[in-house]
Structure 1
Amino acid sequence: MNIQKINPNTLYDGSPFGLSQATIDTLSGLVFVSGQVDWDTDYELKNSTIEAQAENALKNLSVVLSAANASVENILQLRVYIRGELSEHMDNVVPIITQYLGTSRPALTGIGVASLASPGTLIEIEAVARVKNADNEPIAS
């Protein structure tokens, strides 16, 4: 198999949960990013509001993408899981995600869920992206 595991040391260690922060299919250049949350390296939430958790989950996503030689512009698909009824949080979360994504406009799905990684976790964000080549452009398939 041609799989590269990505685990930036500035994020929590996913190995106790059997996961990597991301994996890269080195044949296709696809990057599969695990759901990012507002955890520090000790698996503790940093914030209690959905807005602050969304900002930190997106910062963590950026860390993982960078470690995988990708960026926001290389995101193909983004999935946003929100605890509770999705429509109740759209006004607060959509502007944060829109600012983060800029002009990249990937395929995006929002999903309301009953629970996430820990009782206080309100949002989790996962992505599929493509690595960049040496010219900072997506690789050709």
Structure 2
Amino acid sequence: MRKQLINPPQIYDGSPFGMSQAVIDRASATVYISGQVDWDANRQVSCHNVAGQLKKALANLTTVLEASGSSEESLLSLRVYVRGELGEFIGDIAPILAQYLGESRPSLTGIGVSSLAYPEILVEIEATAALK
């Protein structure tokens, strides 16, 4: 099969939403990662500010990358959605992203949005990566 579904047990079960945490396209050796948020396996938020939720979403992203056979160094593209005006939070999120991404430096888009999947979610990260 060309498509492989990735659903690490440490991340919430996306099947009730009709999704997988990631899908690997074996033909292109590309990993498409669903939006990662500050949710544990029980869909509970651990933090109520943008910086804290960004760190947890990045930790979940790392879990999905590893389960996919990829890594932060193999990220090709990252999209960061922040509830509200992005410019109000750029001073908080830029250093966190720079530390997390290091020399990987994938393409990066930051987007301010009026809402995300649930009211308590302030940050969501969607990514594309290559297999190692």
Q: TM-score normalised by the shorter chain: which range applies?
A: over 0.9
Aligned pairs for 1:1-16 within 5 A: 2-16=2-16
SS of the equivalent of 2:38 reads: coil
2:106 corresponds in structure 1 to 106
1: CA distance between counterparts of 2:83 and 2:107?
A: 21
Which runs of structure 1 show a deviation greater than 6 angstroms over 4 or more consecutive aligned residues? none
SS of the equivalent of 2:56 reads: helix
Q: Taking every aligned residue pair, what percent have the same amino acid on both sides?
A: 55
Give the total of aligned pairs.
132
How does the TM-score come out when normalised to structure 2? 0.98
Task: Give 1:88's aligned amino acid.
Answer: E
1:138 corresponds in structure 2 to none
- Whichever of the two has the greater Rg, that structure is 1
Aligned pairs for 1:61-100 within 5 A: 61-100=61-100
1:40 corresponds in structure 2 to 40
User: RMSD over aligned Cα, in angstroms?
Assistant: 0.7
Structure 1 residue 44 displacement after superposition? 1.3
Q: Gapped runs of 5+ residues in structure 2?
A: none
Q: Gapped runs of 5+ residues in structure 1?
A: 133-141
How does the TM-score come out when normalised to structure 1? 0.92
